[in-house]
Structure 1
Amino acid sequence: MQNNLYHALVLHRLPHIGAATYSRLVELFGSPEAALSQPLLKLEKLINVETASAVRDFQAHQENSVAGQRALADLEWLSAQSNVHLIVISDSNYPDLLRQIAKAPPLLFVRGDIHLLSLPQIAVVGSRNPSSGGSENSHRFAEFLASNGFTITSGLALGVDAAAHQGALAAKGKTIAVMGTGLDLIYPSRHKLLAQQIIENGGALVSELPLCSSPNAANFPQRNRIISGLSYGVLVVEAAIQSGSLITAKTALLQNREVYAIPGSIHNPLARGCHQLIRQGATLVETGQDIVDQLHGILGYEREKLTKLLRKAEKKAELDHKSLDDLTAAEQLLIHAMGYDPVNIDDLVERTDIPVGSVAAQLIGLEIKGYVQQIGAGYQRV
C-alpha cells in the first residue's frame, strides 16, 4: 500500500498535473506506477513539455528526482501525524458523491474523521465581507442544519464560511473545511484556532492540494467544486454579483445539487448575487426548516447505504469497534449513557444534556460506525 501511495504522490507532484490529467493517465495505463513507467514518446501526447521533463527526471533518478523526493517527504510527514489520512479515489473510504463529479480530486488529504466525508452534508458559502446580518444568518442556518443531523461544509474563509463553521460547532454538530492550501497550512492564519476546534469536535479539514501549497488565488475556485461535490445542497447566504460563491452555486447546478439562496434588501449589493440565483431557479429560503423540509428524506435514505460502506471500510482498516479512543467527546458521552438494552432519544437527552437534534445526529454517526444499533424506537450498544 505504501508503494502505491508513493507513486500516487509522485504523479500528484508533477507540474501541471490536474485532476483531469491525473485521472486520464491512470485510466489509460491502469495505475500511477504504470503511467510513470510509460515511454516518453507515448506520454508526450498527453502532457505538456514541463510535465514530460519531470517524468524524465523521475524515470532517470526515481527517489532522487524532484518529484520522488517530494513524495517521500509527503509520506514522512503523513506518517508523523496523528489523525491524518490520505485517500485515493479508488479507496472505499472515498466519498461516493464526490467521486461522481467531473474532475473529481484523485487524492484527498484529510485531518480528522474520514467517515464524515460520506455523511449527508449541506454547504454554506458566501461573502468574505458580509454584513452583520449575513454573518448572523450564516451562523443561524448552520446551527439549525447541524442540529438536524447535517454536516456543514464550507471553506474556512473569512466571513460567511467562518460563521457557518462556528454555527455548526455551537450546535455540537460536525463541520468540514475544504481548504485552498495544503493540509499543513491554515489560511487565513487567524483561523488556526477555528481549525483546531473543528478537529476537536469531530470534524475534518480536507485538501486536494500537495502539502506546502500556498494560498494562490487559482486554488480557491478549484476547491469550490469539492465543497459542492461533497454536499447534497449549497446554501448561498450573501454574495455580490462577482462573488466566488456564485461559482460554487453554478458548479453545484452542474453537479445536479440543490442550490438555496437567502434573499436580502434590494439596496444591499451583497444580496444581488442571491437574487440573481433565485431568478435563475435557486430555491428561496427564509429559514433552515425550508431546507430540512426539502431534504428530510436524505438522512434515512442514506443510512443503510452508508452503514454498509463504512462498516466495510472499518473492517478493511481493522478498526476495533470496542475502542472509544477515536470517538468525539460527545459520542463517548452518549456511549457511556446507554447500556446494552434499548434506550430512547429522550432518555439520552436527559442523561447527557445534549440537545435532541444533536443526539439524533450523533446516533446516526455511531450507528454507521458500528458502535450502536437501532432497536425499535431506541438505541443500544453493539
Structure 2
Amino acid sequence: MLNHNLAVLQTWLALSSVRGLGASRLRRLLAHASPELLLDFPDARLSSLGLTPEQIHLFRSNAKRHSPAVEQWISASTHRHIISCQCAEFPSQLNEAPSAPVLLFVEGDLGNLLLPQIAMVGTRNPTPGGMAAARNLTQELVAKGFVITSGLALGIDAECHRCCVDLGRQTIAVLGSGLANCYPRRNQLLARRILETGGTLVSEFLPDVAPRPEFFPMRNRIISGLSLGTVVVEASVRSGSLITARYALEQGREVFAVPGAIHNPAVAGCLHLIQQGAKLITCAADIEEEVRWQIPVSSKRLSPDRSLPRPPLLDNVGYESTSIDEIVANSGLALTDVMQALLMLEMAGEIESVPGGYVRARRD
C-alpha cells in the first residue's frame, strides 16, 4: 500500500495525473521503473520513453505538490487504502489486463479483492423478472463462495449488491466517481451497508472527483478485470452492460447471459451476446463449471484473517450429503468462512457439491 509513505504516494499521483498518459502508456512506462525512480531520470531519458516536454514538466511539478484532499481522505479511516499496480495487495486478476488502472482507491476490506469474483451487471430499468433472476443468481453464487462485483448503479447492479448485504455477505462495488463523491446518491445508504457487512468500495479516481459520463465505461473495465467472468442479467442492445461484456472478452474472461423472451427489448442485449458466443446460463452451476479451472487451489485468495485450518473443516463433511447448515454448526465457524473454505476444498478435489450440500470425495 502507498498509504504509509506520502512522498512515494505523491510521485504516483503526479505521474498518473499527467495529461495524455492513459493506463496502457503508464503501464509501459512503469515497466522501466517506479515513479519515484522515473522522477530521477534526466529529461532526455524520459523523452526517449515517449514523454513530451510538457508531460515531463507536469510530472516534475506535480511531484512537488501536496494532495491535501487525498491525505485527508486516507487519514479519516484506517479502512481506506491506496494501492498501486506494483503493490502486493493489488489484485493479480486485474493486473493482467493491459488497460487496467495503475492506482486504486479502496475503502473497506482489501482482502476481498483477492477472492474469486463474479461480475454481475444489467440494466438500470429492470423488469420484475430481471430483478428476480439477479437475486436468485446472486444467492446461488455467494452460497458457492464467490464474491459478487458490480457497479453500484441503479437497477440490476444495486439489486445484486443489496442481496449480498441482506445475506450478510461481502460484495465489491466499483464506482464511476471518487469514493468521497458516491454516485448515484440514491445508493449512498447501500454503499454504507456494503462497508458495514465487510464489503469493499473501489475507484480509480481521486476521492473528491465527481461522476462524469465517460467515467462509467472506464469503471466497467475494472469490474470485468477483477472477475473470473461477467454475467449480464438483463440489458438492451445499447446498454452499458454490453461494454462490460466487451471488456471481459478483451481481457480473456468468460461472458454469461441470462436468456429471456425474444420479443422483450429488456433482454435484447443478452440474446445478442448469446448469438455472439456468450454462454446461456440459468443457474450458478452453469457459471461455476466454466470458471472453476481458473481458481488457484492454494489459499492465497483468502485474506489472512479468513484462512481456515483445512483438516478440521474437512472432518465435518461426510461421505453422505452434509448440508451447509450442518457444517457451520459442527465447525463453529462463520458461514462466510465456511463457504470460502468449501469452495477451496472443492477446487482441490477433496469434496464434491451434491443436491442438499457436500460429500467427501472418495479416493481409489
When normalised by structure 1's length, the TM-score is 0.77
Cα offset for 1:49? 6.8
**1:120 counterpart = 2:116:** yes
Q: Which amino acid aligns with 2:146?
A: F
Cα offset for 1:354? 9.6
**1:149 counterpart = 2:127:** no
Name the SS for the 2:201 alignment partner: strand
Change in 2 beyond 3 A, CA 1:289/1:74: same
Contact 1:120 / 1:232 at 8 angstroms: preserved in 2?
yes
Change in 2 beyond 3 A, CA 1:346/1:243: closer
Name the SS for the 2:107 alignment partner: strand
The residue that corresponds to 1:318 in the other structure is: none
Contact 1:348 / 1:359 at 8 angstroms: preserved in 2?
no
Q: Which amino acid aligns with 1:32?
A: P
Change in 2 beyond 3 A, CA 1:57/1:349: closer
Contact 1:15 / 1:50 at 8 angstroms: preserved in 2?
no
The residue that corresponds to 2:252 in the other structure is: 256
Contact 1:19 / 1:105 at 8 angstroms: preserved in 2?
yes
Q: Which runs of 5+ in 1 are unaligned?
A: 312-320, 322-326, 368-373
* Within-5 A mapping of 1:53-132: 53-55=57-59, 57-58=61-62, 63=64, 68-70=65-67, 72-132=68-128
More helix as a share of residues: 1
Q: Which amino acid aligns with 1:69?
A: H
How many positions carry a matched residue from both structures?
Answer: 335
Residue from 36, 40, 54 that aligns with 2:39: 36
Change in 2 beyond 3 A, CA 1:184/1:167: same
Change in 2 beyond 3 A, CA 1:26/1:171: same
Change in 2 beyond 3 A, CA 1:252/1:366: closer
Over the residues paired in the alignment, what is the CA RMSD in angstroms?
3.3
Q: Which runs of 5+ in 2 are unaligned?
A: 318-323, 346-350, 352-358
Distance 1:243 1:148 in 2: 28
Q: Which amino acid aligns with 1:230?
A: L
Distance 2:79 2:343 in 1: 18
Q: Which amino acid aligns with 1:239?
A: A
Cα offset for 1:121? 0.5
When normalised by structure 2's length, the TM-score is 0.81
Contact 2:328 / 2:338 at 8 angstroms: preserved in 1?
no
The residue that corresponds to 1:306 in the other structure is: 301
State which drifts further: 78-87 or 234-243.
Answer: 78-87
The residue that corresponds to 1:222 in the other structure is: 218
**1:349 counterpart = 2:328:** yes
The residue that corresponds to 2:189 in the other structure is: 193
The residue that corresponds to 2:338 in the other structure is: 360
Contact 1:143 / 1:169 at 8 angstroms: preserved in 2?
no
Distance 1:341 1:143 in 2: 24
Cα offset for 1:178? 0.7
The residue that corresponds to 1:247 in the other structure is: 243
Change in 2 beyond 3 A, CA 1:163/1:50: farther
Contact 2:245 / 2:255 at 8 angstroms: preserved in 1?
yes
Q: Which amino acid aligns with 2:155?
A: G
Q: Between the two proteins, what is the percent identity of the paired residues?
A: 39
Distance 1:32 1:278 in 2: 43
Runs of 4+ in structure 1 deviating by more than 6 angstroms, as ranges, are: 339-342, 351-356, 364-367
